């Protein structure tokens, strides 16, 4: 009986992981010593940092100024996926010299079937030792190796430099933090899911794995189901033994031969469009992409990219462009990863693994053809709606100035300037976090003290007593905790237009958080203004 209780076991894989690869690649490109503290920034926030930088207090998501205050010698580097992929090719080539079937998961991580290599080198630990020594000797870079059932578990094992015995993936993953979903498989879906699971109180992969598939499917959708399989030690999706049909392969020949990077980028986009059109016509998406090239002198170049999620048209184009840059920018004497002796005359893109296109959930604006074209198509559609229903039929929200959460959102008709209003101090503004729901229709409620008396506002903007109970439409609720008040006295210079209000945050049984507002009008009253998630 399988250790996975009758389910198909994930394939046994070997993963080679280069720690902090974006920082390592950026440092190599900039000529910075590997042990010098360095960090890669995007939008002035740390997206990756070296071990030396971490020892000085630098962490992911830190602002640039804060990171430099922790480590004054910190080297500031920029994000460049093409650079990361190009400089990783020698590592993949070095692994390929010892192991057959190497696939690039992302720059910094390669995977390969483990069984054949283990048998050839006489054992798992002997294989790992040979790989580490060989990669270090060929590239001068550090790496760690892990072996386990399934890609996700193997990546987690590589990050720890361990071998997970067959059938024990779920037991190995169980006590690990839920953030491993992001660390091992950094996708937007996993990032959002891990954050949500932490807020729901699920701290480990084992706790998430204990949930039933029915619950996960209904609450978290396809992304949650894929992550749930990973947490249980299974592959992201059941293994599909069918071979993709040959007619999906896209082939292009070049005369004169392709030798320039800019030409390769143009070709990558065209071929990605062709392949994506073929896949969309069959309601399919690609999860493993083979890139094969032949040079004028007969050299054959090949690389397979394994994708954590079904890859979009832009993702195909990126991987083809990165791979071409790796081949065309390499030095002639770089061994297996060296530059080819002549230009490329034939390029073939071959889907190695396919899933149904429902796995690829694109955003509203991503309809194929690149972001700019998708934006243009969406804009034309919205203008057409306005022509039929009026200018205000299509509006977009803009964050504006104001004190209450409902006052801070301004709807702007599509096509009008959307510049956000300048921020002002706004005394009396409600502090973060803002409520998740702001009610358009406000309901009057009664807020009472412990003796049952109504609570109002004093002349100094304070509550007359501590809130004890809130009378809602579905019955009374006991106040567990509260914060505030945040009083506001608006237009005090016009007696007829003066508005005195105060907001209070309350936590009522059985665990609902509400935003209440007191209005000191001719008939003082409380309303429920919003609800927190």
Average pLDDT estimate for 111-123: 88
Task: Give the helix/strand (H/E) hosting 409.
Answer: strand 409-413
> Which has the closest alpha carbon to 337: 65, 521, 141, 55?
141
DSSP letters spanning 279-315 = HHHTTEEEEEEEEEEEETTS-EEEEEEEEEEEE-HHH
Q: Which residues contact 218 (CB under 8 A, 6 or more apart)?
A: none
Task: Please determine, for residue 318, whether its predicted confidence score (pLDDT) is greater than 70.
Answer: yes
Averaged pLDDT, 95-122: 90
User: Which of helix, strand or coil describes residue 381?
Assistant: helix
Quote the tokens at residue 499.
């508005």
Of residues 351 and 426, more confidently modeled: 351
Per-residue confidence band for 177, with pLDDT thresholds at 50, 70 and 90 = very high
Backbone φ and ψ for 354, nearest 5 degrees, come out as: -125, 150
Res 308: pLDDT: 67
* pLDDT exceeds cutoff 60 at 3: no
| Structural element, H or E, at residue 442 | strand 437-448
pLDDT value, residue 370: 46
Mean pLDDT, residues 165-190 taken together: 88
pLDDT at 325 over 50: yes
Mean pLDDT, range 482-499, rounded to an integer: 73
Residue 266's pLDDT band (boundaries 50, 70, 90)? Answer: confident
Asked if residue 179 has a cis previous peptide bond (ω within 30° of 0), the answer is no
Which residues touch 273 (CB under 8 Å, ≥6 apart)?
Answer: 313, 317, 368, 369
Token representation of residue 490: 């608006």
Q: Tens digit of pLDDT for each residue in 190-206?
A: 888 888 898 888 999 99
CA distance 198 to 154: 23
Binned at pLDDT 50, 70 and 90, residue 363 comes out as very low
DSSP letter for each residue of 91-154: HHHHHHTTSSS-EEEETTEEEEESHHHHHHHTSHHHHHHHHHHHHHHHHS---EEEEEESHHHH
Mean pLDDT, all residues of the chain: 82
Which position has the higher pLDDT, 410 or 497? 410
pLDDT tens for 443-455 read 788 888 888 888 8
Backbone dihedral angles phi then psi of residue 318, each to the nearest 5 degrees: -60, -45
Question: pLDDT at position 420, please?
Answer: 57
Residue 532 has pLDDT above 50, yes or no: yes
With a cut of 90, say whether residue 493 has pLDDT above it: no
Alpha carbons 527 and 472: distance in angstroms, whole number: 10
Residue-level pLDDT at 1: 33
Q: How far apart are CA 149 and CA 232, in angstroms?
A: 11
Closest by Cα among 436, 462, 261 to 343? 261
Task: Count Cα neighbours of 481 within 13 Å in the Cβ-side half-sphere.
Answer: 4
Q: How confident is the model at residue 366 (pLDDT cuts 50, 70, 90)?
A: very low
3-state helix, strand, coil in the chain (%, to 5): 35, 30, 35
Going by the DSSP 8-state scheme, the letter that residue 204 receives in this structure is: B
Rounded to whole angstroms, the Cα distance separating 402 from 427 reads 9
Round to whole Å and give the CA distance between 225 and 405: 34
Top pLDDT among 436 and 320 is at 320
Share of the chain above pLDDT 90, in %: 27
Which of 130-134, 261-265, 424-428 is predicted most confidently? 130-134
Peptide bond into 485 cis (omega under 30): yes
Pairing, β 300-311 against β 409-413: unpaired
Kindly tell me if the per-residue pLDDT of 72 is higher than 70. yes
Distance CA 286, CA 199 (A): 33
Report phi then psi at 78, rounded to 5: -100, 160
* DSSP secondary structure, 510-527, as one string: TTEEEEEEEE-SSS-EEE
* Model confidence at 84: pLDDT above 50: yes
Judge whether 39 and 46 are in contact, CB under 8 Å: yes
The pLDDT value recorded for residue 531 is 82
DSSP state of 177: B
Tokens representing residue 321 in the block: 């462009």
Instruction: Dig out the tokens for 290 from the structure.
Output: 């083979």
d(CA 127, CA 141): 18
Residue 362 confidence (pLDDT) above 60: no
pLDDT reported for residue 409: 76
Q: pLDDT tens for residues 512-528?
A: 788 888 887 767 788 88
pLDDT on residue 5: 38
Q: How far is CA 265 from the centre of its chain?
A: 25
> Using CA atoms, how far apart are residues 137 and 324, in angstroms rounded to an integer?
25
pLDDT in the model for residue 496: 64
**CA dist list (Å): 386 to 249, 372, 379, 412, 417:** 42, 21, 11, 13, 16
381 CB neighbour count, 10 Å cutoff: 11
Q: Is 447 exposed, middle or buried (0-12, 13-18, 19+ CB in 10 A)?
A: buried
Residue-wise pLDDT for 41-65, tens only, equals: 988 899 999 999 999 999 988 999 9
Residue 460: the pLDDT is 78
The closest of 481, 476, 487 to 466, measured between CA atoms, is: 481
**187: Cα within 13 Å, side-chain hemisphere:** 19
CA distance 235 to 11: 8
Asked whether the beta carbons of 442 and 528 are under 8 A apart, the reply is yes
Q: At 208, which helix (H) or strand (E)?
A: helix 205-209
DSSP string of 50-64? -HHHHHTT--TT-BH
pLDDT attached to residue 218: 82
Closest to 165 measured CA to CA, from 154, 176, 174:
154
CB 448 within 8 A of CB 442: no
Q: Distance between terminal CA atoms of the chain? A: 44
pLDDT computed for residue 423 by the predictor: 56
pLDDT at 364 over 60: no
């Amino acid at each position: 009986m399988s250790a996975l209780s009758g389910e198909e076991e994930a394939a046994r894989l070997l993963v080679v992981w280069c720690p902090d690869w974006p920082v390592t690649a950026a440092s190599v490109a900039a000529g910075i010593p590997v042990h010098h503290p360095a960090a890669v920034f995007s939008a002035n926030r740390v997206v990756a940092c070296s071990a030396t930088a971490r020892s000085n207090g630098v962490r992911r998501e830190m602002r640039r100024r804060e990171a430099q205050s922790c480590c004054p010698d910190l080297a500031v580097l920029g994000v460049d996926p093409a650079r990361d992929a190009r400089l990783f090719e020698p590592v993949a080539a070095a692994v390929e010299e010892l192991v057959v079937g190497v696939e690039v998961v992302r720059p910094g991580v390669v995977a390969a079937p483990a069984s054949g290599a283990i048998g050839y080198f006489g054992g798992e630990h002997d294989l790992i030792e040979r790989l580490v020594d060989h990669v270090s000797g060929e590239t001068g870079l550090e790496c760690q190796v892990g072996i386990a059932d399934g890609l996700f578990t193997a990546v987690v094992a590589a990050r720890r430099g361990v071998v997970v015995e067959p059938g024990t993936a779920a037991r190995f993953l169980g006590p690990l933090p839920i953030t491993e979903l992001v660390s091992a498989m950094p996708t937007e879906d996993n990032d959002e899911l891990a954050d949500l699971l932490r807020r729901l109180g699920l701290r480990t992969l084992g706790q998430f794995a204990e949930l039933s598939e029915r619950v996960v499917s209904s609450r978290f959708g396809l992304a949650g189901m894929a992550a749930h399989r990973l947490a249980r030690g299974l592959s992201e999706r059941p293994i599909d033994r069918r071979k993709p049909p040959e007619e999906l392969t896209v082939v292009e020949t070049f005369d004169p031969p392709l030798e320039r990077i800019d030409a390769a980028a143009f070709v990558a986009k065209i071929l990605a469009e062709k392949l994506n059109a073929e896949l969309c016509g069959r309601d399919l998406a690609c999860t493993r992409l083979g890139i094969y090239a032949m040079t004028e002198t007969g050299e054959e170049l090949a690389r397979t990219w394994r994708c954590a999620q079904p890859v979009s048209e832009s993702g195909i184009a990126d991987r083809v462009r990165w791979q071409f840059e790796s081949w065309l920018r390499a030095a002639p004497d770089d061994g297996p990863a060296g530059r080819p002796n002549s230009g490329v005359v034939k390029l073939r893109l071959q889907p190695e693994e396919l899933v149904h296109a429902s796995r690829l959930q694109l955003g509203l604006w991503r309809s194929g053809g690149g972001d700019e074209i998708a934006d243009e198509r969406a804009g034309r559609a919205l203008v057409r709606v306005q022509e039929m229903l009026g200018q205000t039929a299509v509006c977009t929200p803009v964050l504006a100035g104001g004190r209450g959460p409902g006052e801070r959102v301004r709807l702007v008709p599509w096509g009008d300037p959307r510049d956000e209003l300048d921020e002002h101090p706004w005394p009396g503004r409600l502090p973060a976090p803002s409520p998740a729901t702001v009610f358009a229709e406000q309901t009057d409620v009664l807020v009472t003290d412990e003796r049952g008396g109504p609570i109002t506002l004093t002349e100094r903007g304070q509550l007359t007593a501590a809130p004890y109970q809130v009378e809602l439409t579905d019955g009374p609720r006991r106040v567990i905790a509260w914060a505030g008040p945040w009083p506001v006295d608006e237009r005090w210079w016009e007696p007829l237009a003066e508005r005195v209000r105060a907001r209070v945050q309350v936590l009522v049984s059985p665990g609902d958080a509400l935003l209440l507002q007191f209005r000191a009008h001719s008939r003082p009253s409380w309303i429920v203004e919003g609800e927190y998630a």
